[in-house]
Structure 1
């Protein structure tokens, strides 16, 4: 008697962003029985990444480094070596993360940051795929409500002005950026696309402002989920409600595309934040559930809060639990 075998298809989840928020979600999503693709911003021009991208024609490595580590099962010692940052008194190597230098070296060897990340993914036993949003370093431009402009991701928040819109250009030829290989096909084939958590204007939107990626988000049949920030950010989202975050995303792509918003409703204890260490964060994001629904979004509001080291973060396990519930619910319906 023949025995039929049934292939279980893993849900395909694409996560877009950058900064410190993206690795938190990816680390908790790893080993959860889903097919993960991380699409990482390449508009960072500060710190070690900024110095390297100005020295070598390559996408900035810092966010890519952190994402690779978050999806890797390499031993903790190897992770510590890859993440080691040289001391400030080390002059030439001051403040460079060793992993950034390794990514830079392989990018030069292979002539492509994309190829370097694919090679490192194999070496580091990454569970999933990691793609830079573009194979070229991008320059982020901001246009403020008063008509003035700022150039460079690290300069925008310093202006402390209300941002009207942002856009990106290739660093070296100022042409319209192109998405890296397999980014678009991954978005179009996904069951779920997750944006955030992360800086709205400097970590999330730089990906969406690559025209091909923005168009793919409008065309994909995937559930598109936005993880709203817990705190407002200095020079970016001051006084923003959760609905205003979503409104900005919709305005930048010219139509509504966010299906579901995850909103933390747990209160941050008064006087908890270490404001010297986390000086970019201001106050807790206020809620406007009526306006969120007017933006066409389903709202999932619960306790996603994690307090540690004097800072306010998303609890990766709680967020991923909700993402899994949503993606499996969608697969059952379809």
Structure 2
């Protein structure tokens, strides 16, 4: 039986490691945040009150086994001058339509996964849109993923609610089952406070993460993020993750030790990042985790990214499959 891997996150980081993992002999499930409220996803959320589809679209595309031209169509964005359709991705509109046809986002995604011959499972963490809240170190609070990101303040902690004030967020049952049955749970890579943590703070997800017997792995970010993780080491990322889960559950931290060249990154193009994440092996060990450091760096597009194949190989090695 193939090992079961659950990957938790959102944003653009997850597809980097999903693409090579779908080629491995694994049963892969991606748990995706539904707290995004910016860009095309945010507009659709406001217009027709659906779960924001952008992160889900990216994961579906990463796991699909269909003609590449179909994937290009799903990722295509209308031009800025196209008025009503401006900046909308075709895939987002298709997910919105399928949600209306199926009656909920979860069934819509499962149906689309069948059409796209998805190699694994794509699970929105909740069947309803969630609102991300943050309290900053100065004691102020904000609601909304895009508002929190653009505030560029130091975050203390985050939590999620339903769309209605005081509404308790509910996890999709399949998400809880996948975590409980997993051989490995992988966090990230991705924005810690706005892509990864919105999933783990859903109460049923948090409880499952505390109870599962799976090996748990955090893929440490290569660069810090302005307002979210300025000056964070890999150990400080881990500390925030464990704190939001409510227990020191992470067993391994996979950290890039390859130096990013000083003059390579275009900080205007990638304006949300600030500097390379430093490694702190002793502080990782204090939290009961093992740091796995190595060259996991891929330099492209004037930015610093994870080498997805190297990360996938390391995960398989942790599972004892390589």
Alignment TM-score > 0.5, same fold: yes
Using the TM superposition, give the Cα deviation of residue 132 of structure 1 relative to its aligned residue in structure 2, in angstroms.
0.1
Alignment of 1:182-193 (within 5 A): 182-193=174-185
Residue 225 of structure 2 corresponds to: 233
Partner residue, 2:317: 325
Q: 2:141 aligns with which of 149, 171, 177?
A: 149
In structure 1, the residue corresponding to 2:128 is in which secondary structure?
Answer: coil
* 8 Å contact from structure 2 (residues 206, 246) kept in 1: no
Q: Distance in 1 between matches of 2:85 and 2:221?
A: 33
Instruction: Find the residue that maps to 1:224 and give its secondary structure.
Output: strand
Distance, in Å, in 1 between the alignment partners of 2:129 and 2:223 is 28
TM-score by length of 2: 0.98
Counterpart in the other structure of 1:120: 112
Deviations along 1:193-242, one digit per CA (max 9) or x if unpaired, are 00000000000000001000011001000000000000000110001111
Residue 200 (str. 1) matches residue 192 (str. 2): yes
Deviates more, 1:226-235 or 1:53-62: 53-62
Q: Secondary structure at the match of 1:26?
A: helix
State whether structure 2 residue 159 is matched by structure 1 residue 179.
no
Q: Could you tell me which of 3, 8, 13 is aligned with 1:21? A: 13
2:243 aligned residue (243, 251, 254): 251
Root-mean-square deviation (CA, aligned residues, Å) is 1.1
CA distance in 2, matches of 1:105, 1:219: 37
Cα distance in 1, alignment partners of residues 215 and 48 from structure 2: 38
Q: Spell out the pairing of 1:31-46 with structure 2 (5 A cutoff).
A: 31-46=23-38
Q: State the match for 1:6 in structure 2.
A: none
Segment of structure 1 superposing worse, 250-259 or 219-228: 250-259
Aligned positions of 1:248-327 closer than 5 A = 248-327=240-319
Alignment match, 1:3: none
CA–CA separation in structure 2 for the residues paired with 1:260 and 1:274: 31
Q: Aligned to 1:328, what secondary structure does the other structure show?
A: coil
Instruction: Report the alpha carbon displacement of residue 252 of structure 1 after superposing the two structures with TM.
Output: 1.5
Contact 1:61 1:103 in 2 (8 A): yes
Establish whether residue 70 from structure 1 lines up as the match of residue 62 from structure 2.
yes
SS in structure 2 of the partner of residue 276 of structure 1:
coil
For residue 329 of structure 1, report the CA deviation from its aligned partner.
6.0
Moved more, 194-203 or 173-182: 173-182
* Deviation per residue, 1:51-89 (Å, 9 max, x gap): 001111221100000000000011111111111100000
User: Which of 114, 121, 137 lines up with 1:129 in the alignment?
Assistant: 121
Runs of 4+ in 1 over 6 A off after TM superposition: none
In 2, Cα distance between equivalents of 1:322 and 1:84: 33
- Tell me, in whole angstroms, the C-alpha distance in 2 between the residues paired with 1:212 and 1:181: 9
Query: Distance in 2 between the 1:288 and 1:299 partners?
Result: 9
Q: Secondary structure at the match of 1:300?
A: strand
Q: CA deviation at 1:34?
A: 0.3
- Once the two structures are superposed, residues 255-300 of structure 1 have per-residue CA deviations (whole angstroms, 9 ceiling, x without a partner) of 2111100000000011101112100011000111110100110111
The 3-state SS of whatever aligns with 1:88 is: coil
**Aligned-partner Cα distance in 2 for 1:78–1:297:** 41
Gaps in structure 2 of 5+ consecutive residues: none
Alpha-carbon distance, 1:249 to partner: 1.0
Contact 1:58–1:135 under 8 Å retained in 2: no
Deviations 1:167-187 (A, max 9, x none): 000113541111113100100
Deviation per residue, 1:23-64 (Å, 9 max, x gap): 111111012000000000001000000000111122110000
Counterpart position of 1:211: 203
User: What is the Cα deviation at residue 156 of structure 1?
Assistant: 0.9
Distance 1:250 1:12 in 2: 22
Aligned equivalents of 1:255, 1:130: Cα separation in 2: 26
Residue equivalent to 2:93: 101
Q: How many residues align?
A: 322
